[in-house]
Amino acid sequence: MKICYYPGCTLKTKAKELDAYARKAAEALGVEMEEVKDWQCCGAVYPMAKNEIATKLSAVRALDYAKHNGGKLLTLCSACHNVIKRVNDDMKNDENIRTKANNYLALEESYNGETQVIHYLEMLKNEVSFDEIAKKVVKPLNRKVGAYYGCLLLRPSGVLAFDNPENPSIIEDFIRAIGGTPVIYPFRNECCGAYVSLKNQTLPKERSAKILNSAKEKGAEEVITACPLCLYNLQVNGAGILPARYFTELLAEALGVK
C-alpha cells in the first residue's frame, strides 16, 4: 500500500526519530509512505479566527496534492494532523473560507475537502489492523506504558473524529498489539501546556508534572506521544518524573526494526 505523507518541519529537525521509526515500521508492515512534493509548514496551530485565510493555504496545498495522488493524506505529528484535518473541514463546510482559499490558489480544479486525512495511528488501526501488527511483533514490549493523547488528536472531536475525546482507547489498543500493558490514568487527555511554554513556563511545568505523576501513580513505566511539543513539555517541564517517548519508537522496537 502506498500513501501520501505529510511530515512537517519538526519531523525534519528536532523530531527526526518520530519520523524515522515511523518509516521503518511502515516498511515492515508493507506500507509505502510517499512524501508530498514541496510541502510547506502547516503553521503548527489551527488559526481559529474566521477571517484567517493565508495561514491555511499551506495545508490546502498539501491536501490538494494528496487529492490527485491517491486521495488520502497521512499525518504523523499531532499538530500537523490537527491543523490539516481542521482546514480540510473548512474547505468542505465553510463556504467563505473555501471560496477565498480557492480564489487565492487558483488551482486547475477547485479543492473542496475531498482528501481523507488519516493519522498514522488510524492507519495502523484501520488500514493495517492491530491484529496484523500483533502477528508481526518479534520483541513484545512486556512493560507498562501510559498513552498520552493530549489535545490535538482528540479535540475538537466533531472535526477530528479520532476517538472518544473523554475516554479514548486507540493508543491503549496499540500498546496491547505490540505486547505492552496499557495503563489508564486520569490525565491522559489533558493539555501539557502547549505553546504557552515559550511565554510562561510555570503553567506547562505544573501541567506536565500533573500528567506524569498521574501516569506514575497508576503504575506506568513510561508514557508515549505522537506530538513533539508534548514530548518537549513532558521531558523538559516534567522534570524527569517518567520517561516520555514517541509511539513510533516502541512500534519499531516491537517489530524488531529499531
Partner 1 sequence: MDKTEMTEIMKEISGTDVRKCMKCGKCSGRCPAYKDMDIKPHQFVTMLEKGKVEELLNCSAIWNCFSCMACVERCPRGVAPAQVIEAVRTTFTRAQNNNGLAAEDIPPIVDELIPQQLLVSAYRKYNK
The distance of closest approach from Cβ of residue 26 to partner 1 in the complex, given in angstroms and rounded to an integer, is 22
The distance of closest approach from Cβ of residue 187 to partner 1 in the complex, given in angstroms and rounded to an integer, is 9
3-state SS, 104-164, equals HHCCCCCCCCCCEEEEHHHHHHHHHCHHHHHHHCCCCCCCEEEECCCCCCCCCHHHHCCCC
The count of chain residues that interact with partner 1, using the rule CB under 8 A, is 45
User: Which of these, 57, 122, 44, 114, lies nearest to 87 by C-alpha position?
Assistant: 57
Position 168 contacts partner 1 (CB under 8 A): no
Position 167 contacts partner 1 (CB under 8 A): no
The distance of closest approach from Cβ of residue 158 to partner 1 in the complex, given in angstroms and rounded to an integer, is 9
Exposure b/e, 20-49, CB count within 10 A at least 16 = b:
bbbbbbbebbebebeebeebeebbbebbee
The distance of closest approach from Cβ of residue 149 to partner 1 in the complex, given in angstroms and rounded to an integer, is 11
Query: Would you say 8 or 180 has its CB closer to partner 1?
Result: 8
Tell how far CA 115 is from the center of its chain. 17
Position 7 contacts partner 1 (CB under 8 A): no
Rounded to 5, what percent of the chain is helix, strand, coil? 50, 10, 40
Q: Which three cell numbers stand for residue 32?
A: 509505502
Query: Would you say 88 or 197 has its CB closer to partner 1?
Result: 197
Position 54 contacts partner 1 (CB under 8 A): no
Q: Choose the stretch contacting partner 1; rule: CB under 8 A; options: 64-72, 104-112, 136-144, 152-160.
A: 152-160
Position 199 contacts partner 1 (CB under 8 A): yes
Chain residues in the site for partner 1 (CB under 8 A): 8-10, 13-15, 41, 43-45, 47-52, 55, 77, 79, 151, 155-157, 165-166, 190-191, 193-201, 203, 207, 227-229, 231-232, 235-236
